[in-house]
Structure formats: C-alpha cells, structure tokens
Structure 1
C-alpha cells in the first residue's frame, strides 16, 4: 500500500513538473507569452464584440471563447522569469514582481468571472463582467507593457 501511495505521489509531482513550461532560450519565453496572450486577446475580443453590439450574440460561441480566454490567461506568467526581458514587456515586470503578480492574478480572476458569466448564456451577465475583465487587462498593460 505504501509503495502504491508513493508511486501515486511521484506521478502527481511529475505531472506538475510537466505542466510548467520550460524554455531553451529567453526568446522562446518571449514568443510563448506573446502567443498565449495574443490568442487570449482574440478570444476575449470575440466576446467583447458581442457584448458591445459589434457582433451578433451567440451564447455558445461566447461561452467557448470566454472559457478559452480564462484558460489561456493562466499560461503566460511562467514565461516572465529572470532573464526573459524583452518583447513589449516593461522592465517594471522584473523590478516590481509583487505588483506584476497581483495585476496578473486580478486579470485571471476577472477573466474567470467573465467565463462564469458567459456560461449562463445571458448577454446581460456577459455585459456586466466584460468591463471589469477588460479594465484588469488594461491596468496590467498600462503598468507593465511598453
């Protein structure tokens, strides 16, 4: 029984390690974070366009796009490690790590709330959540993007 528990714990740890991206070069990290953030933005924009009346509302598309944005926004932060400066990232990211992490967490939370709102299928719920989600993204960009 002990060996079974040890094997399960080891498998869990190995799976966790595999979930964290690794980068051969700083440029790989920059490309990764830019790609994930761009894809997140495209999904977010699809929902924002529906909420703003710039696109026809489709509840299933809104739900799928918001869910995808909520998953994608969790990914880029590991690519802002030491030595990965560059791209459009402000040096403030590396100088003010606590503020950056707080801004990233706020954006994750607000985009997560958007996904929950979109899951209801209610355009009004999406409209209520899109503003705070967009504001959290903008606040991070204003502080940490060049």
Structure 2
C-alpha cells in the first residue's frame, strides 16, 4: 500500500509538470533525448514481463507486481516531451499535426497501463496476461501511427 501511495505521488508530480512541456527542455534535442530514454526504459521493463505472459517463464506475482509498478511510473514520463517545438527523433510529424489522435493514443495507453497495474495487484496470472496483451496492442497502435519505422 505504501508503495502504491508513493507511486501515485510520483505520478501526480510528473502529471503536474506535463502542462508546460516545452518549457521543461532547453531545446528540441533535449526533449527528444528525454522521451526516447523514457521509451527505452518502458520497453525494457515491459519486455521483462513478456516471457511470463507467453508462459515461457514462471509467474511470480511479487516480481510482476514490482516490475509493473516501475513500468507504470515510467509510462507517465515521455508525454511531457512532445510539446510544441519538440519535433523530431523517431516521432512522425503527425504527432503534432494530429495532436488529437496522438492524445487519444496516449489516453488509451494510460487506461491499458492502469488495467495492467490492477491485474498485477490482484496477483492473477490470467488477468495479468490479458492486461499485458492490451498494453502491447496499445503500444503497437501508437507506434504504427506516430513512430517512424527503423
């Protein structure tokens, strides 16, 4: 419970800072570096859970709960770095020209992450597996629409 409260406090502070996106970075390159680092960390923590979701590794509810807690915190970070004047990197120009669509993808992702967090808290493998898949689909949907192909 204390861990959840601490994570909520961190997410709230991060969320409060999200209203002035471009003011938080000295230039577009700093914003790009920040969001790409956050995405890399998200990918790392999400990827660690993949073998468990695919039944290639045993389900350890406590380890999943801890990893999801970190993932959930990191998942709140990159969005602040997509403000006006931060174009570039792997983000397509449509992030800014279709800001409403991009925001909807963010919101869909946030809902999926909230469900993943709830499933991890329950310690229920089947709920975790479904929620993990939904987060993955959300990531893919956003990347398909708004990320340049490598």
TM-score (normalised: structure 1): 0.83
Alignment partners' CA distance in 2, 1:86 and 1:55 = 38
Alignment partners' CA distance in 2, 1:23 and 1:86 = 14
What is the deviation of 1:54?
Answer: 2.8
Equivalent residue, structure 1, for 2:95: 93
- 1:39–1:83: structure 2 CA closer, same or farther, 3 Å change rule? same
Specify every segment of 5 or more residues in structure 2 that has no aligned partner in the other structure, as ranges: 1-12
Equivalent residue, structure 2, for 1:106: 108
Q: 1:49 aligns with which of 48, 51, 54?
A: 51
Alignment partners' CA distance in 1, 2:91 and 2:81 = 11
- Does residue 137 of the first structure (1) align with residue 139 of the second (2)? yes
- 1:87–1:122: structure 2 CA closer, same or farther, 3 Å change rule? same
Equivalent residue, structure 2, for 1:64: 66
Runs of 4+ in 1 over 6 A off after TM superposition: 15-18
Equivalent residue, structure 1, for 2:8: none
- Aligned to 2:47, the other structure's residue is in SS state helix
The answer to whether the Cα contact below 8 Å between 1:46 and 1:62 also exists between their aligned partners in 2 is no
What is the deviation of 1:25?
Answer: 1.4
Equivalent residue, structure 2, for 1:31: 33
- The root-mean-square deviation of aligned C-alpha atoms, in Å, is 1.9
What is the deviation of 1:19?
Answer: 3.6
